[in-house]
Amino acid sequence: MSAPERPARLADVAELAGVSAATASRALNGSDRGVREANRARVLKAAKALGYTTNIAAQAVAKGRSRGVTLLVKNLPDDYANPITAGVVAATQRRGLPFTLISAGTDPADLVEAVNLARGNRAEILMITGGRATDDVTIPDLVEALQRYEAEGGRVVLVTQEGLPFDTVAYANREGGYEMATTLVGLGYRNFAVISGMRHGMTQRDRTEGFVAGLADAGIELPADRILIGDFNRDAAYALTGDLLRRNVAVDAIFAVNDSMALGVLTFLRDTGDPRRVAVAGFDDIKALRDVTPSLSTVHLAWEQVAEEALALAVSPRSDQVRTRVVKGHVIVRESTPDVSR
């Protein structure tokens, strides 16, 4: 009986790809440092041809940390987190990186506990997504836990608002709200209401403030009682829409600061009459909108770009300065906000 062939080694992959062992290692580890895309493609092709797999356990022993990405999200399942999660999954798959998902609870202290759990997993990269609240007293504990993660050799990237001492990918939330307001005014709407979500949420605050500023620059003042506060989800928006319309408020357009809440608004209007009698707009452009009638006007965010930006920060050389990448959205006008200016 002949002896079985030995497993392919890194040196075999490098030789077949025509690159150095160091280049092959960086390409297989998902690093952007010093690897041209053509070389990365050759290395991945060679690894596949040889049946080469990285020994993750040995790598963890050698480096004190396992190769891969852990994404920490708050309160799954959640319509806001799902597009980001899908984007990160796609980005890690393109780089051939192992992926782990951790879901934290709804209490702010749950996020700190989840970071400590992630520390135990010892993944090389930790990403955290989800908005912050202005009254969150656990932020110092969170920062301390994340600083420990980096001190132990990991990399932290946040997908959230700016302001914490870690590399961050943020959304241009205020700018998106502003553009939505000016777009709706241009379509002929004048009487507005906003379904704004949680009172202290920074995402909700920025999108609402941007929208209000856009109206103000168009000469329209939004009364405070037209900004409705509640939970950041579909069911809360459904109830808030009912509260608004039962007050017999003159409103011809409702802006919900995320698409999940906008769907709650549309559903209430559908359940009580013609959904087109009040225009509705959202923010995020989640994939579920493909199946909605009328199709929802919204601020499109490039979720895969967000994930790629975050991963690029994570695998790039460390910087002495905190780096922030801001991803801008753009308004997409659909059936839920017909042009009434004519």
Q: What is the pLDDT of residues 216-271, one digit of tens each?
A: 999 999 999 999 998 878 899 999 999 999 988 889 999 999 999 999 999 999 99
Q: Are residues 147 and 217 in the same domain?
A: no
Q: Are residues 234 and 290 in the same domain?
A: yes
Q: Are residues 41 and 113 in the same domain?
A: no
Q: Are residues 20 and 92 in the same domain?
A: no
Residue 59 lies in a domain: no
Residue 255 lies in a domain: yes
Q: Are residues 252 and 277 in the same domain?
A: yes
Residue 342 lies in a domain: no
Global confidence as pTM = 0.77
Render each residue's pLDDT in the chain as its tens digit; 342 residues: 343 456 778 888 899 999 888 888 888 776 656 688 888 889 888 888 887 766 544 454 445 556 689 888 876 545 555 778 888 888 888 888 888 888 887 777 888 888 888 877 778 899 998 888 888 889 999 999 999 889 888 999 999 889 999 999 999 999 999 999 999 999 999 999 999 987 788 999 999 999 999 999 999 999 999 999 988 788 999 999 999 999 888 899 999 999 999 999 999 999 988 565 899 999 999 888 888 889 999 999 988 889 899 999 998 888 889 999 999 999 999 999 999 988
Estimate the crossing angle of helix 10-17 against helix 37-50, to 10 degrees. 120
Q: Are residues 41 and 86 in the same domain?
A: no
Tokens of 279: 């225009």
Q: Are residues 131 and 184 in the same domain?
A: no
Number of domains within the chain: 3
Q: Are residues 166 and 181 in the same domain?
A: no
Closest CA to 9 of 49, 52, 61, 70: 52
Name the 3-class secondary structure at 27.
helix
Q: Are residues 183 and 263 in the same domain?
A: yes
Name the 3-class secondary structure at 160.
coil
Q: Are residues 262 and 205 in the same domain?
A: yes
Give CA–CA dist 30/92, Å, rounded.
9
Which CATH number characterizes residue 112's domain?
A: 3.40.50.2300
Q: Are residues 91 and 131 in the same domain?
A: yes
Residue 140, domain extent:
65-171+303-328
